[in-house]
Structure 1
């Protein structure tokens, strides 16, 4: 009914219908005891928070719109961050018995969820064993009772309740606005949120249908390029396969050009204009729906005054990304444990499959400014060894292959010497448990490490979010299969700007991308020692640099 009223633009009637639908969806979700059933409910109502938030904003209920979209975005991540990283120091002093009970229940739930993820990975269609269901139901009941008791303790009256508008705004960054980008069939909406205000920006010239068409064409071009490259790798002497690979690669590069151009006029340009009116130089993007698959920072417009003839969104502001505002609270707490003076250690994973010629050069550039580096190279970089070492250093750098599984994102991962280090395993790392401080920054120099799954796009289930849940404050990851040589050069420049020029990691990444796209062969040689021939700006095309983005703090 809400969708029908929205089509008719009867916004007040739409909000009433959506409010009932949201309440019913919440009841069904709360009745779920297992991850697979929760995912099923979220999938059934995937676009409901976006449509409802849009309707609330149309009726001037901006606070309601913000609450709705924040609660509906990356919900699984938020709930587990709240549950597993709640500040219970005061409770431990006042009610140690209740503290111990709560910790015991949540530890059992974490272990059970790990078993459920393993079951999902083994057989995506399989039902969770009955004993798991019974145990989960009992633990959920115990947790509900424990939470009710904790709320009786002074200072914990709102423990684990859904965040109110006041709490959401209090947790927003004071340095940069947080922007929820919300596509719907009626058009798109940007909610520009700061601790003081919510500013709506209507983007009705960019409806969801436009986005869907763009993403479908984008993914098809990417997929066809991968298939052609795979066929070529099996028979590199074949002229026909070589020609097909080159044609499909050119089509994919053209699609990146065309797609990022489409993102400018009706989406990013109006947003940038609004942000610059308020003198913002940085912004945190929370792209909802299918927008999370696209490099919004690489939207562009022609500009003859620029070296490459284009002006990109990242030329105007520094953009970072986040799954939701709640995740940044946990990320900020981890980042605060790592002042610059404590960033002296790094774990580097170097070319586990021994098929990346530029990997060693990249890793040496990464570790050279850290007094205490640990390098796991080639056959030493096994899944078990890497997992055991994660969390012992402030920074982790992966130079390896990666893969994104759109329809089974728990099987996305990073390819080690023996096997895939999967998202499922990253979820289970618990890098902040006990005395562990977490990880300040993870650099994923691998293909498609930033892509979320398609089935539950608004849950943002992907490697960056998996790392945030595990205990990483910030992550640099890619949206597509990146070029090995340009990635090495990009990240060499990133480390130079971050470690030697003392820029923040997001600003260092942005400036490294700007530098790479306009760099000449002589400038590249001066930085890396690599000699290149050909174009004046060999890596100007966004394929070479725009795939990387910064998630978190």
Structure 2
């Protein structure tokens, strides 16, 4: 069979597996070389060059927070280059512990909300004394869960400030609030990794202490924050939306791509009623009157109808239930009238959208086992072509969501035309206003995030 060197006859033969692998390797190298010879593909399968990524920071610094078992650092990217800020108070174990506590507390709050809704529905169907007592117990448990969520978030915000945000802002010299609340504000993009992808870095700070108006210890009062999954995605988003087929024109005469698509499903089968979905619909139909919006509502908001309409509209707002599967993120999505429009569904198509508003539960929560892949519903929309996405990190009170989106759209809209570039400042204003009213209830104002340039 073989000689003393241990190589078999078949392996040594010209047609053996070794030679075949070598031939395939040469063929692969040749094909890669040919692809790199094509215009625009010079860096095919190569790590991106630094000078190709620096334009991501043209609107403000981008902070890549690297979390590893060896050490943690903030890589601060500006148009001039990259500098490193060590984060000695942050470790992988701590970040994982914080993320686990965060997820467990939010899950308990969702369970309490679900049990309270069930008890409430039972009383409405049959208001007997035992059902009323059960509903009162569920209401008490819901209040306890809300208090625990606020406590957890307050602790988390302080930890994120001390370990990440304060060192980064100090390194950038961003110590003070703007002289006027109306700006100009510094923009900053967070690009977290590992367990931090789940956590609200944009609200890091000390909110339980008197606010120092000059040097506030809060991110919200120093910069306007946005998120990006990667530097390359942000660079591409800055370059503008891609070219594609031209949208059609409807009977009212306005190009469909210049209309707001409103998807409103307040009464999805098997889901609790969302009483404020109608309020969001009314805000949008006021700001985008007849001829400036397309409304898919209730039974008309099916998966097929929504997918078809998404291809023809640059702006979309979803007011519905949302869900995220922490074990299999691609299965999460938006709950429409006839089923779930999933992350996988959205990722399978390309859009030319400029803005997506997601007034839905948990639209920005990622998967526990795939933290660095950022395959959330919000990120999926961003990856597939929506340059700006506003979403929520966890289940939100629909009345609060309606208030936030009302303020956001009123700031962004001029004469029936949406200004997507105003999304981040609009959200920042709305969240700060809500925070001033209820600083000790971060569960209500902290979840809202912006992804995009």
TM band (smaller chain): 0.7 to 0.9
> What's the counterpart of residue 318 of structure 2?
398
> What's the counterpart of residue 85 of structure 2?
201
Q: Could you tell me whether the CA contact under 8 Å between 1:352 and 1:415 is conserved in 2?
A: no
Distance 1:154 1:373, change over 3 A: closer
> What's the counterpart of residue 264 of structure 2?
350
> What's the counterpart of residue 224 of structure 2?
318
Show CA shifts across 1:197-247 (max 9, x none). Answer: 211111101222221221111111111122222223222330333322322
Distance 1:515 1:160, change over 3 A: same
Distance 1:273 1:153, change over 3 A: closer
Residue 153 of structure 1: how far off its partner (Å): 3.9
User: Which segments of 5 or more consecutive residues in structure 2 lack a partner in the other structure?
Assistant: 1-25, 121-131, 177-184, 245-254
Distance 1:444 1:300, change over 3 A: same
> What's the counterpart of residue 256 of structure 1?
153
Q: Could you tell me whether the CA contact under 8 Å between 2:388 and 2:450 is conserved in 1?
A: yes
Q: Could you tell me whether the CA contact under 8 Å between 1:474 and 1:550 is conserved in 2?
A: yes
> What's the counterpart of residue 137 of structure 2?
240
> What's the counterpart of residue 371 of structure 2?
457
SS of alignment partner, residue 60 of structure 2: coil
Q: Is residue 266 of structure 1 aligned with residue 266 of structure 2?
A: no
Distance 1:201 1:152, change over 3 A: closer
**Alignment map for 1:34-53 (pairs within 5 Å):** none
Q: Is residue 331 of structure 1 aligned with residue 232 of structure 2?
A: no
> What's the counterpart of residue 201 of structure 2?
296
Q: Is residue 162 of structure 1 aligned with residue 59 of structure 2?
A: no
Taking the aligned partners of 2:367 and 2:285, their CA distance within structure 1 comes to 32
Taking the aligned partners of 1:157 and 1:500, their CA distance within structure 2 comes to 42
Taking the aligned partners of 2:330 and 2:189, their CA distance within structure 1 comes to 26
Distance 1:156 1:183, change over 3 A: closer
Q: Normalized against structure 2, the TM-score is what?
A: 0.78
Residue 148 of structure 1: how far off its partner (Å): 3.8
Q: Which residue of 213, 217, 224 maps to 2:101?
A: 217
Taking the aligned partners of 1:414 and 1:448, their CA distance within structure 2 comes to 10
Q: Could you tell me whether the CA contact under 8 Å between 1:397 and 1:444 is conserved in 2?
A: yes
Residue 165 of structure 1: how far off its partner (Å): 2.2
> What's the counterpart of residue 428 of structure 1?
348
SS of alignment partner, residue 56 of structure 2: coil
> What's the counterpart of residue 542 of structure 1?
442
Distance 1:328 1:247, change over 3 A: same
> What's the counterpart of residue 300 of structure 2?
380
Q: Whose helix proportion is higher, 1 or 2? A: 1
Q: Could you tell me whether the CA contact under 8 Å between 1:387 and 1:429 is conserved in 2?
A: no
> What's the counterpart of residue 514 of structure 1?
432
Q: Which residue of 393, 398, 402 maps to 1:479?
A: 393
User: Which segments of 5 or more consecutive residues in structure 1 lack a partner in the other structure?
Assistant: 1-140, 432-437, 519-536
Q: Could you tell me whether the CA contact under 8 Å between 1:353 and 1:416 is conserved in 2?
A: no
Q: Could you tell me whether the CA contact under 8 Å between 2:174 and 2:222 is conserved in 1?
A: no
Larger Rg: 2
Q: Could you tell me whether the CA contact under 8 Å between 2:56 and 2:238 is conserved in 1?
A: no
Taking the aligned partners of 1:468 and 1:166, their CA distance within structure 2 comes to 23
Taking the aligned partners of 2:428 and 2:358, their CA distance within structure 1 comes to 16
**Alignment map for 1:96-135 (pairs within 5 Å):** none
Show CA shifts across 1:344-401 (max 9, x none). Answer: 4110111252621111111222343335200111110011110111031121000000
Distance 1:262 1:157, change over 3 A: closer
Distance 1:165 1:544, change over 3 A: same
**Alignment map for 1:279-294 (pairs within 5 Å):** 281-294=186-199
Task: Provide the aligned length of Structure 1 versus Structure 2.
Answer: 385
Distance 1:428 1:156, change over 3 A: closer
Taking the aligned partners of 1:153 and 1:246, their CA distance within structure 2 comes to 61
Q: Which residue of 418, 438, 443 maps to 2:338?
A: 418
Taking the aligned partners of 2:66 and 2:159, their CA distance within structure 1 comes to 17
Taking the aligned partners of 2:67 and 2:442, their CA distance within structure 1 comes to 24
Q: CA RMSD in A?
A: 2.9
Taking the aligned partners of 1:325 and 1:144, their CA distance within structure 2 comes to 28
> What's the counterpart of residue 526 of structure 1?
none
